[in-house]
Amino acid sequence: MTGPAVPARAAVLARRRPEWEPWLAPLQAALAAVAEPGWAAALPASPPPADDRRPRLAGATLELDARMTRTCLLGLVEAAERAGAPVARARLAGADAADVGSLLEASIEQDAAALVAIAGRLALEPAAVTALAPLVAMPLLHAARARWMAGVPAAWAPGYCPICGAWPALAETRGLEGERRLRCGRCGAEWPGQWLACAFCGNRDHHRLGALAPEDTRDTRRVETCEACRGFLKIVTVLTPAPAVEVALVDLETVELDVAALDAGWTRPEGLGHPLGVGVRMAAPRGLRGWLR
Ligand SMILES: [Zn+2]
Ligand SMILES: [Zn+2]
């Protein structure tokens, strides 16, 4: 794993924006869980066959330690509830291994309908489950990125993440050359971004590409828009890239850009850029007693 378990950047953000605590607290818990070695152990020894369009996780079978997964999930929920976001931890604590596995799978797949169905089965607020899902998937996806990023082709061309298939959370414009790199908020991966092309739909008609920039941050933070798909992408100018574990924090730090773009009628595509079709198996190596404790 790269970087400290919970980056100092999170503490800075917590001090600066105390009102974000209900989002930041479970995010910090998810980032802390990235350091748990059990996630890497859940990955297949080698990724499914490489391809220049298929994310590395596509088709993978994940064998998770049920107890570790459940402990992590309850840790996220506890952090959210401590920060004032009601999730109903008690009901989640009663979920069985199959439900926890389904929740993890739907979170990895970013499957909105499946998440709502799971919320119904567990008598939880669908909005709470949907809000928590990216964090539920985060530790496993970071483990996949740490293991497999080196094998991703340097010239990865699709707009979606080469590890987990998600659309980029943002793009970084780096250094004096202004190299553009797309970043994944779920797994921290990076891949090449194209200038004057929409990352979502590939539109290259510059008459249909635009930008929104707040007056005060025009040089460092802005939004690019595409009239073909109505999508928007946040662009941040940086000297050095954000470490993988900090991408989700940069995404949160720049939420004003999302608000401005959404207010102006731009959207982000729903779901993943490429389906994954992962299989999640929950194993209980210590026996059922551990699970039911
Ligand atoms: Zn990713
Ligand atoms: Zn587009």
Instruction: Going from the first residue of the chain to its last (293 residues), give the mean pLDDT of each consecutive group of 10, the final group possibly shorter.
Output: 70 92 94 94 85 93 95 94 87 90 97 96 93 96 96 95 98 92 98 95 96 79 96 96 97 95 96 96 65 47
Judgement on whether residues 31 and 84 belong to the same structural domain of the protein: yes
E strand intervals along the chain: 61-65, 170-174, 179-183, 190-192, 209-212, 221-226, 232-238, 279-283
Ligand nearest to the CA of 160: 1
Q: Which residues contact 118 (CB under 8 A, 6 or more apart)?
A: 99, 102, 103, 106, 124, 129
Residue 18 C-alpha to ligand 1 middle, in angstroms?
Answer: 28
Rounded CA separation 291/94 (Å):
11
Does the residue 81 lie in any domain?
yes
Residue 92 C-alpha to ligand 1 middle, in angstroms?
Answer: 26
The tokens describing 262, both together, are 């959404």
Residue 208 C-alpha to ligand 2 middle, in angstroms?
Answer: 9
Judgement on whether residues 63 and 205 belong to the same structural domain of the protein: no
Judgement on whether residues 187 and 259 belong to the same structural domain of the protein: yes
Ligand nearest to the CA of 203: 2
Rounded CA separation 104/135 (Å):
10
Judgement on whether residues 205 and 284 belong to the same structural domain of the protein: no
Does the residue 156 lie in any domain?
no
Residue 186 C-alpha to ligand 1 middle, in angstroms?
Answer: 5
Residue 84 C-alpha to ligand 1 middle, in angstroms?
Answer: 28
Rounded CA separation 129/123 (Å):
10
Ligand nearest to the CA of 168: 1
Q: Is 79 exposed, middle or buried (0-12, 13-18, 19+ CB in 10 A)?
A: buried
Q: 237: closest CA among 189, 193, 188, 186? A: 193
Does the residue 240 lie in any domain?
yes
pLDDT at position 176, please? 85
Judgement on whether residues 13 and 140 belong to the same structural domain of the protein: yes
Residue 202 C-alpha to ligand 2 middle, in angstroms?
Answer: 6
Residue 9 C-alpha to ligand 2 middle, in angstroms?
Answer: 31
Residues within 5 A (CB) of ion ligand 2: 198, 200-201, 203, 226, 228-229, 231
Judgement on whether residues 109 and 195 belong to the same structural domain of the protein: no
Q: Which residues contact 202 (CB under 8 A, 6 or more apart)?
A: 159
Does the residue 1 lie in any domain?
no
Q: 236: closest CA among 140, 183, 170, 141? A: 170
pLDDT at position 289, please? 47
Judgement on whether residues 101 and 136 belong to the same structural domain of the protein: yes
3-state secondary structure of 282: strand
Rounded CA separation 183/161 (Å):
8
Residue 178 C-alpha to ligand 1 middle, in angstroms?
Answer: 22
Residue 35 C-alpha to ligand 1 middle, in angstroms?
Answer: 17
Ligand nearest to the CA of 201: 2
Domain span including residue 61: 8-151+275-292
Judgement on whether residues 84 and 188 belong to the same structural domain of the protein: no
Residue 215 C-alpha to ligand 1 middle, in angstroms?
Answer: 31
Q: Which residues contact 114 (CB under 8 A, 6 or more apart)?
A: 102, 105, 106
Q: Is 196 exposed, middle or buried (0-12, 13-18, 19+ CB in 10 A)?
A: exposed
Judgement on whether residues 179 and 127 belong to the same structural domain of the protein: no
b/e map 179-190, b = 16+ CB within 10 Å: eebbbbbbbbbb
Q: Per the structure, how many domains does the chain have?
A: 2
Contacts 24+ apart (CB under 8 A), 253-256: 253/13, 254/170, 254/221, 256/214
Residue 97 C-alpha to ligand 2 middle, in angstroms?
Answer: 40
Judgement on whether residues 15 and 123 belong to the same structural domain of the protein: yes
Residue 165 C-alpha to ligand 1 middle, in angstroms?
Answer: 6
pLDDT at position 4, please? 57
Residue 250 C-alpha to ligand 1 middle, in angstroms?
Answer: 15
Q: Is 76 exposed, middle or buried (0-12, 13-18, 19+ CB in 10 A)?
A: buried
Residue 199 C-alpha to ligand 2 middle, in angstroms?
Answer: 7
Q: 62: closest CA among 288, 292, 274, 277? A: 277
State residue 257 phi and psi, 5-degree precision.
-65, -40
Residues within 5 A (CB) of ion ligand 1: 161, 163-164, 166, 184, 186-187, 189
Residue 167 C-alpha to ligand 1 middle, in angstroms?
Answer: 8
